[in-house]
Amino acid sequence: MQIAQNSVVAFHYTLTNDEGEVLDSSEGREPLTYLHGAGNIIPGLEKELEGRDVGEKLVVKVSPEEGYGEVQEQLMQEVPRDAFQGVESVEPGMQFQAQTQGGPLMVTVKKVEGDTVVVDGNHPLAGQKLNFDVEIANVREASEEEVEHGHVHGEDGAEH
Ligand code: ZN
């Protein structure tokens, strides 16, 4: 069955950057499952999976604009150390959920300078060219309920 609008797709992937460094992989885990055409995965990848079939292997190159976006300078912010109450030690690389005008946002601590902490609200993969090695493990039709909700149900999806 070919991947089309409202297919539930399971695929294995290995994600590398242009230096060949592995950033993420489903190896040794269950394949990633998503509802096709619902914007569950990044646009550059979803587009290339259209029309593919079970067992197909492909390499997909995704630019930042079709991936996690460009790095936005305005998402880098200095916040007072006092904003991290209850956190004993604030270290670079730590992630926190910040409340912003646009809703909750995951931020990563970039550096700590005295009483000031520089946080970055960009996605960790923003600004990067991504290379996905993909193998399609399964394709099935979505249930009406899944289409309505815009995501996959069952053991590899939302349970509710
Ligand atoms: Zn649901």
80 and 64 together in one domain: no
Distance 157 CA to ligand 1 centre (A): 8
134 burial type by CB count under 10 A (0-12 exposed, 13-18 middle, 19+ buried): buried
d(CA 125, CA 137): 25
Contact 134, 50 (CB under 8 A): no
CATH of the domain at 116: 2.40.10.330
Is the residue at 160 inside a domain? no
Is the residue at 159 inside a domain? no
Distance 103 CA to ligand 1 centre (A): 21
Range of the domain at 58: 7-68+125-148
pTM of the model: 0.81
Contact 118, 110 (CB under 8 A): yes
In this prediction, residue 21 carries a pLDDT of: 95
For 138-156, write each residue's pLDDT tens digit. Answer: 999 999 999 999 999 987 6
Is the residue at 156 inside a domain? no
CATH of the domain at 46: 3.10.50.40
Contact 138, 144 (CB under 8 A): no
Of 129, 131, 144, 133, nearest in space to 35 by CA:
144
93 and 116 together in one domain: yes
Distance 114 CA to ligand 1 centre (A): 45
Contact 11, 49 (CB under 8 A): yes
Distance 6 CA to ligand 1 centre (A): 14
Is the residue at 155 inside a domain? no
For 22-36, write each residue's pLDDT tens digit. Answer: 999 999 999 999 999
51 and 129 together in one domain: yes
Domain count, the chain: 2
Distance 116 CA to ligand 1 centre (A): 41
52 and 131 together in one domain: yes
Distance 145 CA to ligand 1 centre (A): 7
Distance 148 CA to ligand 1 centre (A): 8
